[in-house]
Amino acid sequence: MTNFGFNTTTDEVLRGIDLTGTLALVTGASSGLGVETARALVAHGAEVIGAVRNLAKADAATASVREAAESGGGRLELVEVDLANLVSVRTCADLLIATGRSLDLVIANAGVMATPYGLTKDGFETQFGTNVLGHFVLANRLAPLMRAGGRLVMLSSAAHGIADVDLEDPNFERADYERWTAYGRSKTGDALIAVEFDRRHRDRGIRAAAVHPGGIRTELQRHYSREEDEALVASINRTNAAAGLPPFQWKTVEQGAATTLWAAAVADADMIGGQYCEDCHVAPVSDGEGIAGGVRPYAVDPKRAQALWEKAEELVGERF
């Protein structure tokens, strides 16, 4: 199957592909998309390092991954990392560096969504600090381990259309906190990190892309009510109707993780490098507003990406 799209699943994307000898790091491998991403990789022979906040939870949640590894020839191991704590991020990276193993894939899958206002261990707004800065430090610390031909995949979201990053007030110290705005900013941030990472590492044969997995019911929705969920879908449908687009549809977890794996292991590197992908293809740039298809120009703007990178270095106190 090569005509991939909205309904494509992980197994369809990886059909016929042998990933024996591939070493992948997947953050958030203790639920939802992370578990499915790890399962599909090991089922095709890859070794997966699942980077998780709670090792006990992850051990129980990844039974299906271990079963797939046994039949597919892959392997799963778990390491601890709390992306909301940069000491934990750096410790995890140091442990992985000490093993001396080379990475082929880094999949920045973990994240939080629409959380109440809070701060990470390092004093950053929770969603920006976890989704963007935690992955920023981890990916850059691990970049020297990545082999030529390797790829970084950052999980973004159509919610990037809610808001661009705010480089002047990333922690809502001046603006009133609004959790969906904060989430949108963080997902724009993830897309921009992929743009700049790709620019910096493409000469080494390493590429980066951002992906929108689609709407999937996972633990990500735990911070808001079903009523809010329904209101959000209604809002998306109003936007879609005005643009002449079909109504919103949920994806299964298997469909949601497919774009991640397509960008990581199937698509041509030059095609996806520095791009934002959805439904197993590179998304068109769209000037629309809100949560809709395509990618907003500001989320793939190279100058904006470089500015965020420099701001992130300033915030975390580390240059890459």
> Catalytic amino acids?
183
Q: Which helix (H) or strand (E) holds 65?
A: helix 63-72
How is 205-246 classified by DSSP, letter by letter?
A: T-EEEEEE---B-SGGGGGS-HHHHHHHHHHHHHHHHHTTPP
Which among 261, 276, 91 is positioned nearest to 194, based on CA atoms?
Answer: 276
Which among 29, 158, 20, 42 is positioned nearest to 81, based on CA atoms?
Answer: 29
- Joined tokens for residue 185: 């900013």
Spatial contact of 223 and 287, defined as CB atoms under 8 Å apart: no
Residues facing 208 on adjacent strands: 152
Say which DSSP state 21 is in. Answer: T
- Joined tokens for residue 162: 């809610």
Half-sphere CA count of 82, side-chain side, radius 13 A: 10
Number of residues assigned to the chain: 320
CB atoms within 10 A of CB 211: 33
235 CA to centre of own chain: 24
Cα pseudo-dihedral 298, 302, 308, 310, rounded to 10 = -160
Residues facing 51 on adjacent strands: 27, 79
Name the one residue in this structure whose structure tokens are 């109707």.
241
